[in-house]
Amino acid sequence: MSLPTAYLNVFKNAGDILQAIQAAQAPPRFTQKFLEGIGFPSSNDRTMINVLKALGFLDDSGVPTRRYHEYLDQTQSALVLAEGMREAYGDLFRVNKAAQNMTQSDVKNKMRTLSEGQFTDRVLTQMAGTFTTLAKLADFDGERAEAPESPNEEEDEAPVPDAAPAAPRVPQSSKPVIGGLVYNINIHLPESRDPAVYDALFRALREHLS
């Protein structure tokens, strides 16, 4: 049965408690002490903790869930609450897709049928009152804004042009200058193992070109 057994003892503070939750930083654990700290010390208000667990705002140990943190965004809080109610009261919404528009009396009768006589009339009254109170604070008609999808990295990346081939390095050789003219001289050396032969050739070149 997808029908929460958690309910509020009093309904008048439900909206104020939710507003106070939005105004406060999310605690590590949502405890009675935290509820008192945001201005609700009454024992009747403590039942809100179990209701928040039923709505998926808190886990079983009272730690705020992702839905709790999403509810802190006031631009979508009413939509987040509606999402939690559709999940928590799944059987009721299966009976009537627009269960949020039902009167408290109709909700009570549907809950009586769904619970197959598990709860007393007083408990059913509190359960139905909790549902209708929360429904007035929720937005069942709007749609949650979806986070923008991250663009495809492959589409974003501009093609990198191939690097231009490096120009080959040309070794610089000394060019003798004679009468304002520049000459390139190619010398074919004879094969010899005697270094004196090469010394004599280079010495003769220096004498004639200097």
The rounded percent of the chain whose pLDDT value lies above 70 is 70
Q: What confidence category does residue 197 fall into, taking pLDDT thresholds of 50, 70 and 90? A: low
pLDDT at position 15, please? 97
pLDDT at position 28, please? 97
For the chain, the three-class secondary structure string (H helix, E strand, C coil) is CCCCCCCCCCCCCHHHHHHHHHHCCCCCCCCHHHHHHCCCCCHHHHHHHHHHHHCCCECCCCCECHHHHHHCCCCCHHHHHHHHHHHHCHHHHHHCCCHHHCCHHHHHHHHHHHHCCCCCHHHHHHHHHHHHHHHHHCCCCCCCCCCCCCCCHHHHCCCCCCCCCCCCCCCCCCCCEECCEECCCCCCCCCCCCHHHHHHHHHHHHHHHC
- pLDDT of 66-84, one tens digit each? 999 999 999 999 999 999 9
- pLDDT of 143-194, one tens digit each? 766 544 544 544 455 555 555 555 445 444 445 555 555 556 666 666 666 6
Q: Report, as an integer, the average pLDDT of 20-25.
A: 96
pLDDT at position 188, please? 62
pLDDT at position 171, please? 47
pTM over 0.85: no
